[in-house]
Amino acid sequence: MARRGSYAKGVAKREEILRAALAVVAREGYHGASVKELAEEVGLSQAGLLHYFDSKDELFVEILRTRDEVDMAGHSGTVDDTATLDELRDGYLDIVRHNARVPGLVELFTRLAADAANPEHPSRAFFAERGAGLRERWAGTIADAQAKGAIRDDIDPMLAARLLQAASDGAQMQLLVEPELDMAALIETLFALMRSSDRP
């Protein structure tokens, strides 16, 4: 089976395919793309491509997972324990700005989010884990910032993290219809609302 491909060659090839597929969706967009289309652009036949994945649905979920990994890797510098709230926020806004330039992936994200409504669909697990991880990390960051007086202490950190996730995902929905939308400014506004107002 593809996922259990323990030989380095198979895993490496799978990675290679996913990177290429990611680039294709980013460039060409995603309007109900078929495996065949994607396969040809990646340089394989449809059956050849599917050899590495359990199904079409799993393939597309893995493309999204690869994007996250690429995004994370690109900003690993800011994710150490000494990072301040502002640094973490700016790192996050960088990712937001980057994603806003790739509407094809935003569309894929949104479509798979809809698929996740079905508990049997591979994207369900992906979104559940992704959301939980994102919120856990931000809830911790926010709690720390509250201890330092940088964030209002009258909101629950987990609820604030949830709100950040919701605003991010919802902003992407708006982006699909208004490609010129400044998503980062929107998220920045939310951070501003959460900041302690210790002015008179």
Q: Which residues bind DNA (CB under 7 A)?
A: 5, 7, 9-10, 13, 34-37, 43-52, 55-57
Give burial (CB, 10 Å; 0-12/13-18/19+) of 96: buried
Binding segment for its own copies (CB under 8 A), chosen from 24-32, 67-75, 80-88, 139-147, is: 24-32
Distance CA 63, CA 61 (A): 5
How far apart are CB 193 and its own copies at their closest, in Å? Answer: 4
The residue (of 31 and 199) whose beta carbon lies closer to DNA is: 31
Binding segment for its own copies (CB under 8 A), chosen from 63-71, 74-82, 89-97, 108-116, is: 108-116
CA 191 vs CA 54, 79, 133, 182: distances in Å: 40, 18, 19, 15
The residue (of 50 and 164) whose beta carbon lies closer to DNA is: 50
How far apart are CB 1 and DNA at their closest, in Å? Answer: 10
Residue 13 tokens, joined: 């090839």
The residue (of 48 and 133) whose beta carbon lies closer to DNA is: 48
154 binds, among DNA, its own copies, none (CB under 5 to 8 A by kind): its own copies
Residue 53 tokens, joined: 């994945």
Q: Is 165 in the site for its own copies (CB under 8 A)?
A: yes
Distance CA 66, CA 17 (A): 11
Torsion of CA 165, 170, 175, 177, to 10 degrees: 170
- From the list 193, 183, 86, 184, the residue with the least C-alpha distance to 141 is 86
Longest C-alpha distance within the chain, in Å?
67
Please report, as ranges, the residues that interact with its own copies according to CB under 8 A: 29-31, 103, 106-107, 110-111, 113-114, 116-118, 124, 127-128, 131, 152, 154-156, 159-160, 162-163, 165-171, 173-174, 176-178, 185-186, 189-190, 192-194, 197
